[in-house]
Structure 1
Amino acid sequence: MKHIILALFSLLFSYGIQAQTGEIESHDPSTIQKDGNYYWFFSTGYGIKATYSTDLVNWKVSPQTVFKKDSFPTWIKEYVPKFQGHFWAPDCIFMNGKYYLYYSCSSFGVTQSAIGLATNETLDPNSPTYNWTDLGMVVASKDRKDFNAIDPSILKDKQGKIWMTYGSFFGGIAAVELDSVSGKIKKGESIKKIAGGRESDWEASCLIQEGDYYYLFVNNGLCCKGLNSTYYIVYGRSKNPLGPFLDQTGKDLNAGGGTVIMRTEGKFQGPGHVGLLREKGKNIVSIHYYDAEDQGKSKINLVEMGFKKGWPYFKRKN
């Protein structure tokens, strides 16, 4: 108990990154959002799993999922016939007075996938205004030449434009501008490849903006295999959200480039799925990892991100 109190005391005064106590099981955590006094993230699971905290240290799984575990929007079966209600890799952004939650519908090894969108005025299940409204399909994929419609990452840039990156293996990682009101693909905008392709192991992208650059973080390797997972995180940067994204050697991420920023280290096996929370002057990056000290269970971990000469680095605190 003493170490928890000390961690909370330090958090209140420094807003730094503390070790998570009783690390919570999670896979593909979304960008962390704050609603009132609570931090929330969403992750892979039946109905879409929601997890909350008051301090970014102690986390609890909400008994309330986004969709009821025994039901989901009917439109999904049209695009993903094999879907059984196990949603993947959501991402969440707050805009227009609402939380926009993007989620993935797919199954292992298939190219028929879809990204959907739901909105809510609050993330607090106890609020009288709590109600997820599903807005249907954002993008779908059919064959191996497509950008696989999973793993959405949403960015609102300094110019107020909304961008989505997504994709996994198959056609690679894609980027497209979204309409800032509807949250769907903006009329007249085309989808562009920004990394990977040719069925290579690129997935779980995350686009952020810092200074004059957009930075694209992507996972290489294999996920979802516990202690046999080989995930590691690479990145590139560009002055355009549609690329080209180049690594520190100048190699395009469309041509196999990518500067490695995090690999397996100690118990943190196969780190992946970057999300960014900017809090009190800190860049707090959320990832998941497979715990080598706990049978390879997937858990969330927070690390701090800094920049040196225009290039990012991650610093783990635990």
Structure 2
Amino acid sequence: MKENPLTPSPFLSRRRMLGAALATGALAAVPGIADAALPRHAAAADYPGPGLVTGDVRVHDPSFVKRPGGGYLVAHTAHGVGLKTSTDRTAFSNAGVVFPSGAPWTTPYTGGDRNLWAPHLSYADGRYHLYYSASTFGSNRSAIFLATSTSGNSGTWNNEGLVVESFTSDDFNAIDPHLQVDAQGRWWLAFGSFWSGLKMVRIDPATGKRHDGTLYSIAGRGGDAIEAPTIFYRGGRYYLFVSFDTCCQGAASTYRIMVGRSSSITGPYVDRNGTAMLAGGGTEVLSGHGSIHGPGHQDVFADTDSDILAYHYYDDNGTALLGLNWLGWDSSGWPYVH
């Protein structure tokens, strides 16, 4: 792993089996250097390590939001949906769970398991919005729910109810939500895992629920492993980050982060080579390297020092940990980690 004097600025998505096991841990890796001249297809050995993070960094499927009063709130897969906080994007602390008394409305989808998956956090109109998944491993009898809170603190979240669900008769899976507002101010929810691929629905900002019944397809691999959509708007383009291959197998996990882009939020998304993401396309952004196994279920957000790629990965003993890297953009407008 390359060493580099830079560390992340102080301003600075499987989920199923880890909720009860997440506990305090630490990681101290120094990021590597990359610049705008980075080769178009960097080898895995060239990827930098995660930036320095400390404290409670055992996490699965992290989602970040910058708090209006300063600092960061992170939601992640756990019993009742886990929460962490950080003032500087380096040191992280346990902040309890969204639903400390449980979420019994999810039982039809979880079979009674309290583990709730792959949340996505955002903040708008004075409230935190949390979309989260309820399912069981390998099933597409799944649902995405919404909760809101004015503070984001544990136990203050209101259940706003069901947003999207899938049935065993469907060819999609309603998990792994990501809310994105487009350049015209319209709200969209991307989601999906395996089956026929990733989907999108329009959201009514007044309710946080579906605007209509239209279901858009945005990426797929012909039934192969793809999940965890993340959409990021930059320079007039929408970038669709996804996770290919498998997670939740500890150090044997093969998750890797891929990307495509489009001028429209509903697609079509294509990779650097022009291959449609609906036809299995995707340009690799980060894959396993050294002691970093199966990086994936990413989140991307803009910060004061850089755009940031957040993700989980597994160390050599199979522990799921938080990874953070700066996200740069080459001269052709494609992202790379550094």
- Decide: shared fold, TM above 0.5: yes
Helix, strand or coil at the partner of 1:254: helix
Q: Deviations over 1:39-58 (max 9, x none)?
A: 11100010111011111101
Size of the alignment, in residue pairs? 297
Q: Return the alpha-carbon distance in structure 2 between the equivalents of residues 281 and 87 of structure 1.
A: 32
Residue in 1 that maps onto 2:281: 257
Q: TM-score, normalised by structure 2?
A: 0.82
Q: Return the alpha-carbon distance in structure 2 between the equivalents of residues 160 and 19 of structure 1.
A: 35
Larger deviation, residues 195-204 vs 29-38:
29-38
Q: Return the alpha-carbon distance in structure 2 between the equivalents of residues 237 and 100 of structure 1.
A: 25
Match status 1:137 vs 2:162: yes
User: Which contiguous aligned blocks of 4+ residues in structure 1 show a shift greater than 6 angstroms?
Assistant: none
Letter in 1 for 2:314: Y
Q: Highest relative contact order (Cα 8 Å, sep 6+), 1 or 2?
A: 2
Match status 1:26 vs 2:48: no
**Contact 1:20 1:58 (8 Å CA) reproduced:** yes
**Contact 1:291 1:299 (8 Å CA) reproduced:** yes
Letter in 2 for 1:53: S
Q: TM-score, normalised by structure 1?
A: 0.87
Q: Return the alpha-carbon distance in structure 1 between the equivalents of residues 228 and 70 of structure 2.
A: 28
2:326 aligned to which of 295, 304, 307: 304
Residue in 2 that maps onto 1:72: 103
**Contact 2:242 2:259 (8 Å CA) reproduced:** yes
Residue in 2 that maps onto 1:220: 244
5+ residue gaps, structure 2: 1-5, 13-30, 32-49
Where does 1:118-133 land on structure 2 (aligned, <5 Å)?
118-125=147-154, 131-133=156-158
Q: Return the alpha-carbon distance in structure 1 between the equivalents of residues 289 and 56 of structure 2.
A: 17
Letter in 1 for 2:242: V
Q: Deviations over 1:186-230 (max 9, x none)?
A: 13x511111115432010110111112111011111001101100
- Root mean square deviation, CA, Å: 2.1
Q: Return the alpha-carbon distance in structure 2 between the equivalents of residues 73 and 236 of structure 1.
A: 37
**Contact 1:305 1:312 (8 Å CA) reproduced:** no
Q: Return the alpha-carbon distance in structure 1 between the equivalents of residues 231 and 104 of structure 2.
A: 28
| C-alpha displacement of 1:35 | 4.3
| C-alpha displacement of 1:284 | 1.2
Q: Return the alpha-carbon distance in structure 2 between the equivalents of residues 204 and 220 of structure 1.
A: 9
Letter in 2 for 1:146: D
| C-alpha displacement of 1:22 | 4.4
1:236 aligned to which of 260, 268, 275: 260
Letter in 2 for 1:298: A
Helix, strand or coil at the partner of 2:268: coil
Q: Deviations over 1:4-62 (max 9, x none)?
A: xx979x636xx599511346100001133324233111000101110111111010111
Where does 1:144-163 land on structure 2 (aligned, <5 Å)?
145-163=170-188
Helix, strand or coil at the partner of 1:240: coil
Where does 1:272-287 land on structure 2 (aligned, <5 Å)?
272-287=296-311
Letter in 1 for 2:67: K
Residue in 2 that maps onto 1:315: 337
Letter in 2 for 1:96: D
Q: Return the alpha-carbon distance in structure 1 between the equivalents of residues 110 and 244 of structure 2.
A: 28
Helix, strand or coil at the partner of 1:227: helix
Residue in 1 that maps onto 2:295: 271
5+ residue gaps, structure 1: 1-5
**Contact 1:83 1:106 (8 Å CA) reproduced:** no
Match status 1:115 vs 2:115: no
Letter in 2 for 1:135: E
Helix, strand or coil at the partner of 2:111: coil
Where does 1:46-65 land on structure 2 (aligned, <5 Å)?
46-62=79-95, 64-65=96-97
Q: Return the alpha-carbon distance in structure 2 between the equivalents of residues 182 and 303 of structure 1.
A: 34
TM-aligned CA distance change 1:197 to 1:82, over 3 Å: farther
**Contact 1:150 1:166 (8 Å CA) reproduced:** yes
Q: Return the alpha-carbon distance in structure 2 between the equivalents of residues 249 and 59 of structure 1.
A: 38
Q: Deviations over 1:233-280 (max 9, x none)?
A: 111111111111001111101111111111111221111012122111
| C-alpha displacement of 1:312 | 2.8
Q: Return the alpha-carbon distance in structure 2 between the equivalents of residues 259 and 98 of structure 1.
A: 35
2:115 aligned to which of 86, 90, 99: 86
Q: Return the alpha-carbon distance in structure 2 between the equivalents of residues 59 and 73 of structure 1.
A: 29
Residue in 2 that maps onto 1:168: 193
Residue in 2 that maps onto 1:101: 130
Helix, strand or coil at the partner of 2:63: coil
